[in-house]
Amino acid sequence: MLFLLLAAHANAGVSPDARYLAFAQATVEQIESPAHCKRRARNFTYVVPTSVDPQARTALASIRNVVALSDVPESAKVPFSNNIEIDKLQVVGDTALVEGNLYPYGHNSLNCGEGFSFPFKYENNVWVLQQWTMRGC
């Protein structure tokens, strides 16, 4: 019994709370929406640095495959891969931000993808998308 209690306590800092899970879900919905992402596949891998907000990274990993850039094999770095590169993933109080690139590998002659920035605000227990941007290289 004591072992279970200690194990639960040790994992308490690892599991994201409901706000982080809701942020991760809102993030995925925006990034993968037909308005932003041309691919219809839903088997995306999110390439996320380990240096981002650990709770946000864990929440995203609970609903999508998440890997570090060092874990992406060179053979997977091809144009229009199912990888989505995340540069920033953070929650600060009632605001949150996700930034990154769709199609990050060899999409065009500049070898960059379509950048995005999705800021959110937590209002009435939901993450509401604010003024977002999509950009080329």
pLDDT for 114 equals 75
Q: Is residue 7 part of a domain?
A: no
Q: Is residue 79 part of a domain?
A: yes
Q: Is residue 26 part of a domain?
A: yes
Q: Is residue 5 part of a domain?
A: no
pLDDT for 68 equals 94
Please report which residue ranges of the chain form alpha helices under DSSP H: 2-11, 18-31, 54-61
pLDDT for 2 equals 34
Q: Is residue 21 part of a domain?
A: yes
Q: Is the pLDDT of residue 100 over 80?
A: yes
What is the count of structural domains for the chain? 1
pLDDT for 10 equals 39
Mean pLDDT check: name the lowest of 4-8, 22-26, 86-90: 4-8
In this structure, are strands 45-47 and 83-92 parallel, antiparallel, or unpaired? parallel
When pLDDT is averaged across residues 116-131 and rounded to a whole number, the result is 94
- Domain that includes residue 125, residue range: 17-135
Q: Does pTM top 0.85 for this prediction?
A: no
Q: Is residue 6 part of a domain?
A: no
pLDDT for 78 equals 73
The residues facing 3 across adjacent strands are: none
- Which of the pair, 134 or 62, is modelled with greater confidence? 62
Q: Is residue 1 part of a domain?
A: no
What is the Cα–Cα distance from 2 to 6, expressed in whole angstroms? Answer: 6
Q: Is the pLDDT of residue 107 over 80?
A: no
Q: What's the number of CA atoms in the CB half-sphere (13 Å) around residue 32?
A: 18
Structure-token pair, residue 99: 């930034």
